[in-house]
Amino acid sequence: MIPPDFIQTLRERADIVDIVGSRVNLVKKGRDHWGLCPFHDEKTPSFKVSADKQFYYCFGCQASGSALDFLQSYDRLDFVSAVETLASQLGLEVPRVRGDREEDTRRREERDRLSEVASRASEFYQRELRSHPKRMRAVTYLKERGLTGEIAREYGLGYAPAGWDNLMMALADDAEVEDAISAGLVVDKAEEKKRYDRFRDRIMFPIRDLRGRTIAFGGRVISAEDNPKYLNSPETPIFHKGRELYGLFEAKRSVRELTSLIVVEGYMDVVALAQHGIGNAVATLGTASTQDHVQRLFRTVSTIIFCFDGDRAGRNAAWKALLNCLPHMADGRNVRFEFLPDGEDPDSMVRMEGKDRFELRLERAQPLAEFMFRRLSETIDLESIDGRAQLAKEGMVLLTQMPDTMFRALMIESLAERTGLSPDKLQQISGMTRASVVEAPPWEDPDIPPDLEDDDVGVILDRGRMRLAREALHVLMHSTEAVSTIESNDYERLAVMPECHLLLEVVRVAEEEPDLSPIMLLARFRTHPDGALLTELAETEQLLDAPHLPNHFKGVIERLLQELDKLKKQEGTRRLSGKSLAELTDEDKARLREMHRPSG
């Protein structure tokens, strides 16, 4: 256990600007530093680091915390590792409470030994692939799968020869053999007084952690008659298959700007895709995708593409992945599902289609919303009232697992279109409130993160209106005809809201040139200061079908107008409440009564 006073010392001595600035490009503006948020995709900096408060906060995704919090999130460290990293940078030694220190030291030394013996085993398997007398069976198999020596070296592929004790004989001494047993490389049958190599006559795929250390292996048979097809290392102190992803280290190392990851089912699929120039594939390790997997993926990229076989097993695996993705679907994150033809896998498809056609297939993969609603509707008769009620119930059970985002609001609207129920009714039935999905934070009780300065409060208060204005722009970038659903005088009313200024510029151009397509409308703003934002919105898919976009746009504008009315009411109340009763005119009194009259 680390003493609390030492953690406090770290917080006092650490300079968060140095810690964050070594990982994120920061620019000083006034007293604070700003940069692009490392935790979500954005084009305009909304990530603030305060030297005075020793605190960071993102106005886009609401990530926040201290230097230790940043190290945990950015470097993907647990708390103890983050403390050790920060202490090392400050030249401090981490003290331990007596009694725990010996146990921590023992565990750390054990992990180091197991990682070392796994590294030794990887070197042995690679050497055997190059020099073993019977290596040609393995070499021929890899060549037939289209793999070159270069890709084999990049992924550290090796060969475990047939025989019971090849690895044991290659290890230095009995102590290393004991470590190999703990690392899952050697099987110990104590009751039979037998020990033997776990992996025999197999192609070997080393599994590496995010630091590149070998922690486990997957072995694939060479002969189609042998079973099991894949054999994985068991759980060990250094390997937990529900958290690790094969190929993630290699993907981060080989792809300069990693924006998406493709999740496939087998090691060979990962390596085959890399051979064809698709280096951003990873595989789960003999288990379905877990929430730990999803969290690790989203810490690395904003887009995940699950690419599975199109058979029943593949679709069931995809459904489990979808369920684990829902709690992590923040705005800006994207999940798609690609199902391959029967009998094909990513390895065979990329060899048959080539890189360009395979990547086009992935670009056209089903969005999460489409897959979810299709799956829910497969056994439901949507022509019947009972069927639509069942879809509403099952759909809202899933949607309530999602975070409170605009994406969830759009998913609810999409479900409303399918069931004939209003979004309000769906939320009422499921226990949600309308405010939790679309409304701006209340003026009287803003949700202000700790340690932010007073002059930041206005930004927080406007976040909901900014979100609505952005959604209206998103619609216009896909459906310019939506402009005609609102009267011009209503647009003019929005001119007093700063959040709507870009929206009104786009509306004005669309009204003046009603025949403009979304592409041509975007072209008018190529050199505009906010052109990058509009391009991003144009490139972001719309969950709603095109015929429904105008009505959705109208609803968004109406909510903005409601926000405007609330602001005017609040401003009027503040102004009139500053007067004494004697100072109020009859007109003032009538206005106050109107302001506080119950709606409806």
| Average pLDDT of the segment spanning 127-150 | 95
Question: At 113, is the pLDDT very low, low, confident or very high (cuts 50, 70, 90)?
Answer: very high
Q: Is residue 592 over pLDDT 70?
A: no
Read off the pLDDT of residues 541-553 as tens digits, 9 standing for 90 and up. Answer: 666 667 778 888 8
Does the domain at 462-592 match CATH 1.20.1740.10? Answer given as no
Q: What is the pLDDT of residue 582?
A: 55
| Average pLDDT of the segment spanning 96-100 | 59
Q: Could you tell me which of 283, 263, 282, 270 has the C-alpha nearest to residue 325?
A: 263
Q: What is the pLDDT of residue 42?
A: 85
| Average pLDDT of the segment spanning 12-38 | 86
Highest mean pLDDT among 29-38, 39-48, 244-253: 244-253
Residue 429 in contact with residue 396, Cβ under 8 Å?
A: yes
Q: What is the pLDDT of residue 364?
A: 95
Read off the pLDDT of residues 262-272 as tens digits, 9 standing for 90 and up. Answer: 999 999 999 99
Among 99-103, 432-436, 447-451, 520-524, the least confident range:
447-451
Read off the pLDDT of residues 115-135 as tens digits, 9 standing for 90 and up. Answer: 999 999 999 999 999 999 999
CA distance 354 to 363: 15
Q: Is residue 454 over pLDDT 60?
A: no
Among 225-229, 290-294, 370-374, 535-539, the least confident range:
535-539
What is the dotted CATH code of the domain comprising 4-89? 3.90.580.10
Domain spans in the chain, listed from the N-terminal domain onward: 4-89, 106-232, 248-373, 385-436, 462-592
DSSP character for 587?
H
Q: Is residue 400 over pLDDT 70?
A: yes
Q: Could you tell me which of 477, 45, 425, 489 has the C-alpha nearest to residue 469?
A: 477
CA distance 520 to 263: 36
| DSSP secondary structure, 414-428, as one string | HHHHHHS--HHHHHH
Q: Could you tell me which of 334, 156, 180 has the C-alpha nearest to residue 246?
A: 156
Q: What is the pLDDT of residue 398?
A: 92
CA distance 559 to 562: 5
Q: Name the pTM for this structure.
A: 0.59
| Average pLDDT of the segment spanning 332-344 | 93
The sheet that has 303-309: what strands, in order across it?
281-283, 260-264, 303-309, 334-340, 366-367
- The three-class DSSP label of residue 188 is strand
Q: Where are the alpha helices (DSSP H) in 276-354?
A: 291-300, 312-325, 346-353
Name the superfamily (CATH) of residues 106-232: DNA primase, catalytic core, N-terminal domain (3.90.980.10)
Q: Could you tell me which of 316, 475, 457 has the C-alpha nearest to residue 410?
A: 475
Place of tokens 């103890």: 80
Question: At 464, is the pLDDT very low, low, confident or very high (cuts 50, 70, 90)?
Answer: confident
Does the domain at 248-373 match CATH 3.40.50.150? Answer given as no
Q: What is the pLDDT of residue 320?
A: 92
| Average pLDDT of the segment spanning 355-369 | 96
Among 44-58, 366-380, 535-549, the least confident range:
535-549
Name the strand (E) or helix (H) holding 298.
helix 291-300
Select the more confidently predicted residue: 517 or 134. Answer: 134
Sign of the torsion formed by the C-alpha atoms of 427, 432, 434 and 440 = negative
